[in-house]
């Protein structure tokens, strides 16, 4: 059976109430296929924040992504009472490199972890164009985010993830990634994570099937829910900033320092 026909049969079965929900592994593979499509699909390049594509034909608008998050990084350092680190950072889902080009001005090493090779390649092109030599791309199988733990040797000073959690294939998946963040960070290391939160309309809540149709709002956490999740995963929430028009919540987090380090 072709993939299109198989999906058609599954969706028909779901409508009749005789087909189960897709497994976590299947949703992860659907996500990987979707984001890998930026190699051929202009709409996915726009969604992946590639400079010059769609909305990002406006260069200033594209630059504002990284500048905004860099300003939040400095606010996070102030909150944590820490001097801005300059060593190693990791961005989960760097897309076309809008954050990378700003953070590369600060960090010696920029590790990009993504399920899309095409997006990692574009991020690499942007960094190369500015003469940056510290890029380490890490392409992972979407169904195995923990594989990053073996691929990234040294601890990191900053974990950054913006405009990705809402596209993750489920809340449990986001928990797995947050655990990876805590495991990768050095004690006292910082994390800036943005998630989407649901509104009153049920359509803005998390989804459980049909990844491609629901990609824009697949996963949403209530603010207190993600705050608690981060804590359970080993990250200390310092503050949260809401951007109501997008229902974005930015969490300012740190991995607790080891005893005697503060
Ligand atoms: C909307 S773009 C965001 C790019 C960048 N973070 C920014 O804020 O400009 C989403 C990126 O996340 C990647 N992505 C989606 N799901 C992912 C996952 N489960 N793990 C890692 N990367 C993922 C996509 O391939 C894409 O590069």
Domains of the chain, residue spans = 23-254
> Is the predicted pLDDT of residue 14 greater than 60, yes or no?
no
Residue nearest to atom 5 of ligand 1 (CA): 94
User: What's the pLDDT tens digit per position in 209-240?
Assistant: 999 999 999 999 999 999 999 999 999 999 99
Measured between alpha carbons, how far is residue 80 from residues 54, 205, 230 in Å?
A: 37, 32, 16
Q: Which residues of 48-76 are buried (b: 16+ CB within 10 A; e: fewer)?
A: bbbbebeebeeeeebeebbebbbebbebb
Q: Which residue has the tokens 């010059």?
A: 52
Both structure tokens of 31: 């996500």
- What is the pLDDT, as a whole number, of residue 249? 98
- How does pLDDT run across 89-141, given as a tens digit for each residue? 999 999 999 999 999 999 999 999 999 999 999 999 999 999 999 999 999 99
Residue showing tokens 């979407």: 142
Which of 64, 115, 140 best tests ligand 1's pocket when mutated (most atoms within 8 Å of CB)?
A: 115
- Looking at residue 20, its pLDDT comes to 76
Atom of ligand 1 nearest to the CA of 31: 16
119 lines ligand 1 (CB under 6 A): yes
CB of 95 within 6 A of ligand 1: the answer is yes
User: Taking 80 as the threshold, does the pLDDT of residue 4 lie above it?
Assistant: no
- What's the whole-model pTM score? 0.93
Of 113 and 12, the structure prediction assigns the larger pLDDT to: 113
Percent of the chain with pLDDT over 90: 89
Kindly indicate the confidence band of residue 259, based on its pLDDT and cuts at 50, 70 and 90. Answer: confident
Mean pLDDT of 244-251: 97
* Contact criterion met (CB below 8 Å) for 161 and 91: yes
Q: Model confidence over 28-45: pLDDT tens digits? A: 999 999 999 999 999 999
More confident residue, 11 or 92: 92
Average pLDDT across the chain, whole number: 94
- Segment 57-94, tens digit of pLDDT: 999 999 999 999 999 999 999 999 999 999 999 999 99
Q: How far apart are CA 49 and CA 190, in angstroms?
A: 24
Q: Are 215 and 38 in contact (CB under 8 A)?
A: no
For 163, the 3-state DSSP assignment is: coil
Q: What is the pLDDT of residue 18?
A: 47
Determine the Cα–Cα distance for residues 224 and 57; give it in Å rounded to an integer.
36
> Ligand 1 centre from 255 Cα, in Å?
23
Q: Centre a 10 Å sphere on the Cβ of residue 232 and count the other Cβ atoms it contains.
A: 12
How far, in Å, is the centroid of ligand 1 from the Cα of 239?
23
Is any atom of ligand 1 closer than 6 Å to the C-beta of 102? Answer: no
Asked if 169 and 33 count as a contact pair (C-beta separation under 8 A), the reply is: no
Alpha helices per DSSP H over the chain: 3-16, 24-36, 42-47, 59-80, 100-103, 117-129, 148-151, 171-184, 211-214, 223-232
Our answer on whether the CB atom of 49 is closer than 6 Å to any ligand 1 atom is yes
pLDDT band at 21 (very low <50, low <70, confident <90, very high): confident
Say yes or no: CB of residue 112 within 6 Å of ligand 1.
no
Say how many Å lie between the CA of residue 199 and the centre of ligand 1. Answer: 23
Domain 23-254, classified CATH 3.40.50.10700, yes or no: no
* Ligand 1 atom closest to 160 (CA): 6
The Cα–Cα gap between 210 and 70 comes to 34
Which residues face 88 on adjacent strands?
109
* Helices 24-36, 117-129: inter-axial angle, 10-degree rounding: 40
CA nearest 162: which of 79, 222, 246, 236? Answer: 246
Question: 152-188 pLDDT, tens per residue?
Answer: 989 999 999 999 999 999 999 999 999 999 999 999 9
Confirm or reject: Cβ of 181 under 6 Å from ligand 1: no
Find out whether the beta carbon of 31 lies less than 6 Å from any atom of ligand 1. yes
Output the pLDDT for position 255: 98
- In angstroms, what is the span from residue 207 Cα to ligand 1's centroid? 18
How far apart CA 241 and CA 77 sit, in angstroms, is 15
């Amino acid at each position: 059976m072709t993939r299109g026909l198989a999906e058609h049969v599954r969706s028909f079965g779901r409508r009749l109430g005789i087909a189960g929900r897709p497994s976590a592994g299947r949703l992860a593979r659907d996500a990987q296929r979707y984001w890998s499509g930026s190699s051929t699909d202009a709409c996915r390049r726009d969604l992946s924040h590639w400079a010059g594509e769609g909305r990002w034909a406006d260069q200033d608008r594209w630059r504002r992504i990284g500048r905004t998050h860099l300003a939040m990084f400095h606010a996070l350092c102030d909150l944590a009472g820490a001097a801005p680190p300059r060593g190693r950072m990791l961005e989960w889902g760097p897309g076309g490199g809008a954050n990378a080009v700003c953070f590369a001005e600060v960090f010696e090493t920029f590790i990009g972890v993504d399920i899309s090779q095409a997006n990692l390649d574009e991020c690499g092109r942007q960094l190369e164009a500015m003469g940056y030599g510290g890029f380490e791309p890490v392409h992972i199988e979407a169904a195995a985010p923990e594989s990053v733990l073996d691929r990234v040797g040294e601890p990191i000073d900053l974990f950054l993830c913006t405009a990705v959690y809402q596209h993750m294939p489920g809340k449990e998946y986001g928990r797995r990634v947050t655990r990876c963040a805590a495991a990768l960070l050095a004690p006292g290391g910082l994390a800036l994570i943005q998630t989407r939160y649901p509104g009153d309309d049920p359509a803005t809540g998390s989804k459980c099937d049909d990844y491609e149709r629901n990609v824009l709002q697949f996963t949403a956490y209530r603010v207190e829910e993600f705050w608690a999740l981060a804590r359970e995963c080993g990250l200390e929430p310092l503050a949260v900033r809401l951007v109501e028009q997008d229902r974005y919540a930015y969490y300012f987090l740190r991995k607790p320092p080891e005893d005697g380090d503060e």
